[in-house]
Each structure stands twice: as C-alpha cells, then as structure tokens.
Amino acid sequence: MADQIAFTKGHGTENDFVLVPDLEGALDLTAQQAARLADRHAGIGGDGVIRVVPSAAATEPGVLAQATHARWFMDYRNADGSVAEMCGNGTRVFATYLRREGLETADEFAIATRAGTKVVRFEGQGSDALIAVNLGPWRLAQPAIAEDEGFDALVHLPGHEPMSALSLDLGNPHTVVALPEQVDLDALDLHLAPLVNPAPEHGTNVELVRPLGAGHVRMRVHERGVGETRSCGTGAAAAALATRFWAGGQGDTWTVDVPGGRLRVRALPGDEVELAGPAVLVADGVTSLG
C-alpha cells in the first residue's frame, strides 16, 4: 500500500465526506484508517469516508452483481470507520466527483451501493443545480405495530420524557421522533446517542422532526456511528415519509430544512423515494494513511 493517497473533500448540505479514489480497486482501507481520515483533529475531517472503486473490483457479491449496470461502487464508511449501507447526501457528492473526474459524463447514471443500485440525475446548472437520487424502496420496519398505533418505538433524550417514534428502513435504519409541541428542537442535547427502545440490532439514525406546514418539516439528526451531523439525506427522506405516514399518506413532495441547508424529498410510485439537493467539492489534496 502506498504511503500517500489522494483525497477530495466534499459536502451535501454540510454533511461532509472524505473521498478516496481507488480506481484500480487495490486499496484495502481498514476501519482504523477510515476513522483517522474522518478525524477532525488528527485527519482530514468528515462525517464519513467514501472509497471510489469500480463495481467490478468489489469483493462483496451483492456489489459485484450490480457491476453490469453501475460502473462505480460507493464504498461508504461512517466516521468511526464502521461499514454502512449507503448515504443519501454522500451519493450526491460521489456523483459530483464522478462527473468532475470524467468517470461519468451523462446527466443520469447508476451507482452501486451496499443498499442496491441508486440512480442519480443532475438538474439545472450553476449554483442552483441539484442532484436527485432515487433512494429506492422504503418500508416501515415494524408495519403491524406502526399501522395500528402510528408508532413502534420510544426515544429517550436527556431531560425529557420518552418520545414516540416510528422506525423506517431506507436501506439503512432510521427512527423518526414526532417531537411534542412543548419540546424546543434547537435546545435538544444530541451530544450522546439517543436511547431507542426497543434497541435496533444494528443501531439506528435518529431524526427529531418539527412540522412547519403542509409539505414542510425541520429536523436535527444523530447519525449512527457519527454523532449529530449538519444533514442526513436518508434521514431527511425518513423524516418526510414518517410525517407523511402520520398525515394519512397525504403529500408527495416535501421540503426538509436541516442545519446545513434544504433538501427536497419526493414519494414515488412503488414505495420508492427520491432525495434532491446540492453537492459541493471543496478541496483536493494528498495525505498519509499512517
């Protein structure tokens, strides 16, 4: 392994990532190395690390099976180095990198992830440009309970009574809290991971949601393996879908405000969901893996 590697830093609504090109599929990136790259004090700093690798060079059978229609695999790691299924904001940053580097040239193309193939589409030009990604199918994690009661979990935060929540699967796990009116979204302490009961086997992302009007919500999020982030793409989709579920399935297009900006979520036919927002590449460099 080379001592030095190239990297690119990018973000989607301030959810930031370190992208590492591995165009030959030769880099065996360990959890410790990924965590060091994501470290904001001892590394480059980011909410996650994305290895850019040909799908055909992947070692995971589920990814290799996508190689016939998705040339590039988004090998995503959380900030603690743990492997994750995918990342909505990261997908847009990944797609922006592929286009800048000439690895993809079309306005629409497919990307391989551990949560299946995601199709991205570029909309508009310049500073108003958005990247839309079909996140694929979503489902209620416990439909029998959710459809009967509207909720299937309780979330505990410091200084507050347990709050009702809904669990969703968007290829990665989410628990969306229906924030009581008396609770101030901005004052919540998200330094530590909220306690979820029942505790999901593989952990969960937790979204705290405040409705602002028809088709419009605001949220904060604590990401599994990361901590509070300025944005979470699949989390924004989960927040919109949960609010839509509580509203009896009303509304297909949602605006989701996060600390880092604004995202658009659309419910699609066949229980699929689309996320759209900006993506920015901010720096390129070379670093050591240590």
CATH number at residue 91: 3.10.310.10
Verify that 73 and 36 share a domain, yes or no.
yes
Verify that 114 and 144 share a domain, yes or no.
no
pLDDT tier for residue 146 given thresholds of 50, 70 and 90: confident
pLDDT tier for residue 162 given thresholds of 50, 70 and 90: very high
Phi-psi region of 238 (alpha: psi -120 to 50; beta: other; left: phi over 0): alpha
Single out the catalytic residue among 232, 240, 258, 289.
232
Verify that 115 and 149 share a domain, yes or no.
no
Question: Does 50 score more than 70 pLDDT?
Answer: yes
pLDDT digits (tens, 9 = 90+) for 170-194: 999 999 999 999 999 999 999 999 9
Verify that 180 and 113 share a domain, yes or no.
no
Verify that 76 and 100 share a domain, yes or no.
yes
Question: Does 38 score more than 50 pLDDT?
Answer: yes
Number of folded domains that form the chain: 2
Cα-Cα end-to-end distance for the chain:
11
Single out the catalytic residue among 87, 146, 176, 221.
87
Verify that 144 and 130 share a domain, yes or no.
no
Verify that 95 and 182 share a domain, yes or no.
no
Q: Give the count of beta carbons closer than 10 Å to the beta carbon of residue 62.
A: 12
Question: Does 143 score more than 80 pLDDT?
Answer: yes
Verify that 155 and 243 share a domain, yes or no.
yes
Instruction: Answer whether 135's CB lies under 8 Å from 274's CB.
Output: yes
Verify that 265 and 284 share a domain, yes or no.
no
Verify that 39 and 75 share a domain, yes or no.
yes
What is the rounded average pLDDT of the residues 17-38?
Answer: 96
87 counts as catalytic:
yes
CA distance 82 to 84: 6
What is the rounded average pLDDT of the residues 245-255?
Answer: 93
Instruction: Answer whether 208's CB lies under 8 Å from 185's CB.
Output: yes
Domain limits for position 251:
139-270
Verify that 96 and 160 share a domain, yes or no.
no
195 counts as catalytic:
no
Q: How far is CA 21 from the centre of its chain?
A: 20
Entry pTM:
0.92
